[in-house]
Copies of this chain bind each other. A is one copy, B any other.
Amino acid sequence: MKYLHTMVRVTDIEASLAFYRDALGLEVLSRRDNAAGQFTLVFLAAPGDSTAQVELTYNWPQADGSTETYTGGRNFGHLAYAVDDIYATCQRLLDHGVTINRPPRDGKMAFVRSPDNISVELLQAGSALAPSEPWTSMPNVGAW
């Protein structure tokens, strides 16, 4: 038995790739644009950890141009990733316009949200980093 992936639905595939790939740092492993089914699937994973994936499901707009919208639910909590340098990861997220909901004031843990409000936890691999500005003084924003 083996964990394969967590699937999340996304309303904007490009905005989601900007978040999961460009800002968070996951790699795109495969992409399937299915015209018959009117959906796109993208599988991503952390570099070097390709067997534990996240699957983005994007349902194409209807013929009238209407799109699906996705609400969140409390039964799902978050996706968690270990990162080599939580400050560098959070800086890259900031540079891509992502709000750091829970900044890594402790050098150890941060939370952000995807464009569709999927909560993502970031944990510093190994020991916490030494507290450092601007993170130490950065307030929480919203919920995660």
Contact segment of A30-38, A65-73, A133-141: A65-73
Copies assembled: 2
Q: Which of A45, A80, A89, A114 has the most CB of B within 10 A?
A: A80
Q: How far is the CA of A106 from the CA of B17 in the complex (A)?
A: 32
Q: How far is the CA of A5 from the CA of B54 in the complex (A)?
A: 11
Interface residue from B1, B68, B82, B84 paired with A81 (Cβ < 8 Å):
B1
Range class of the A interface residue count: 35 or more
Interface residue from B10, B49, B57 paired with A2 (Cβ < 8 Å):
B49
- Taking a contact as CB atoms under 8 Å apart, the answer to whether A3 and B45 are in contact is yes
Q: Which of A5, A57, A121 has the most CB of B within 10 A?
A: A5
A interface list, Cβ under 8 A from B? 1-10, 25-26, 45-49, 51-55, 57, 68, 70-84, 89, 114, 116-118, 121, 123, 125
